[in-house]
Amino acid sequence: MTDAAPSPQPPASLAELSGQMADEGERLEVELGEVDLLIAQARTEAARHETRRTAAVDKLAAATAAAASSGTSLEPGVAADLNTQLVLLTKRAALMESQVDVLEGKRRALGRYRVALAGYQEALSAFGDVPLATRPGKAAGSPRLADPGGVPPAVSRMLLGAQEDLRREIARAMHDGPAQSLTNIVLQAQIVERLVATDPGRAGTEVRQLVAMVQQTLEATKSFIFDVRPMVLDDLGLVPTLRRAARERGRRAGVPVEFDSLGPDQRLPMDLESGLFRILDEALAAYLGARAERVSIRLDWADQVEARVSASRAAAEISPDMTPTAAAVADLPPALAAMMEDRRADARDAVEAAKRDAIVVLPPSTWREIQSRATTLGMTAELASDGAELLLVADFPVPVAPMVDAQP
């Protein structure tokens, strides 16, 4: 990797700021080239280790089969060497695959940064060589286009508290998920290491279990990364990301989740696209947590982006009311007629209770969070069907016309 560039001097004008951004873009291009080279090397190493691991598996299987066909057991020394080699190659192959995933994530992040930087530079070029203002008490040249008057302390504390809450949730999820799985892998590897020396015959079974654990942990780590920030959202957009989220959450909950997108979808601004995905994914998780038996997500790309999340549950079967009608019991004694009327009332109450139980209601805490987030993003959020359906409406962003210098 290239060394970090020295901190540039504060620009005195927008043109100078645009030049500094161009220099930063060139450094990003160099770093992206280095990352691409590292990815290619890591992939080559991963393929080489996987080939050697496969060869070691075949060699161990062939040696075991040859010993069995000759009526003898595999020599302990040979078995120990083969199992040790297999464990080592398995660890190296898993490590290289993880390194490839990490490098590809960094490449995507740098690519997004490069695109954003180029967009900002292009926007700045429309303003020409405008000098930047300075804040009283600051050195000349310190960039400032407007004086926001500072952030209130209460807002700063709220932002810091939100950051700490987010860090706490991520740390807890990492501890309970990938970190725990990696601990189990280490313990399994120690078991394999002991068996290689004491019982080579059982070591092969434990090695296969170790490989399965590594693959399972890798899948869990990818799911964790998707939950924190799905890379596919930045690369492909809202529709593929929601389709994958619906499939994965439905698979985990064992509930069918239908997803449908009507009309040609399009890319939205990053904050709107990310916020819309978070709201829909949060509503999906809340409905599944409320024991819904069927959930559907529908996007409609027309004059506005309209998203609907609805949930349902099958109503309990109620035995038909066989109680005679009021006309039929008119001639009955008053006590018997009253008893019949009570039975009809109980039957009506049972039907109403079954209807209410069939409604899957969005939890109030989730609804408040969705309302707050939708208001912040300028979206409209409504609940329908007694809370069983969420409707979101977002306007397409209006393209900003390029600035033109005023004619003299």
In tens, the pLDDT along 355-371 reads: 666 678 888 888 988 88
The region of weakest confidence among 6-15, 53-62, 264-273, 370-379 is: 6-15
- Residues 200-237: pLDDT tens digits? 778 788 888 888 888 887 777 777 776 777 777 878 88
Q: Within 13 A of 149's CA, how many CA atoms are on the CB side?
A: 1
pTM over 0.85, yes/no: no
Residue 344 lies inside a defined structural domain of this protein: no
Does the pLDDT value for residue 1 go beyond 70?
A: no
Spatial CA neighbour of 278 closest among 372, 361, 363, 175: 372
Rounded distance between C-alpha atoms, residue 38 and residue 47, angstroms: 14
Joined together, the tokens standing for residue 25 give 């873009």
Domain total for the chain? 2
φ, ψ (nearest 5 deg) of residue 267? -75, 140
Q: Are 191 and 101 in a shared domain?
A: yes
Residue 177 lies inside a defined structural domain of this protein: yes
Residues 6+ apart with CB under 8 A from 245: 226, 230, 277, 280, 281, 284
Q: Which residue has the higher pLDDT, 272 or 131?
A: 272
- Residues 166-205: pLDDT tens digits? 677 777 777 767 777 777 788 878 888 888 878 777 878 8
Rounded distance between C-alpha atoms, residue 242 and residue 263, angstroms: 15
Does the pLDDT value for residue 349 go beyond 80?
A: no
Residue 239 lies inside a defined structural domain of this protein: yes
Query: Which of 209, 228, 247 is the last residue before a domain boundary?
Result: 228
Rounded distance between C-alpha atoms, residue 161 and residue 172, angstroms: 16
Does the pLDDT value for residue 136 go beyond 60?
A: no
Does the pLDDT value for residue 253 go beyond 50?
A: yes
Q: Which residue has the higher pLDDT, 154 or 66?
A: 66
Residue 339 lies inside a defined structural domain of this protein: no
Axis-axis angle for helices 364-377, 270-289 (nearest 10): 170
β 380-384/389-395 pair status: antiparallel
- Mark out the alpha helices in 268-400 (DSSP H runs): 270-289, 334-358, 364-377
Q: Are 187 and 243 in a shared domain?
A: no
Q: Are 296 and 372 in a shared domain?
A: yes
Share of the chain above pLDDT 90, in %: 7
117-126: list long-range contacts, CB under 8 Å, 24+ apart.
Answer: 117/21, 117/24, 117/25, 117/28, 118/25, 120/21, 121/18, 121/21, 121/22, 121/25, 124/14, 124/17, 124/18, 124/21, 125/18, 126/402, 126/403
Rounded distance between C-alpha atoms, residue 375 and residue 381, angstroms: 8
305 has which bridge partners?
Answer: 301, 394
Q: From the centroid of its chain, how far is CA 23?
A: 33
Q: Are 167 and 240 in a shared domain?
A: no
Q: Which residue has the higher pLDDT, 125 or 301?
A: 301
- Mark out the alpha helices in 8-75 (DSSP H runs): 14-69
Residues 6+ apart with CB under 8 A from 208: none
Domain range holding 175? 14-134+163-228
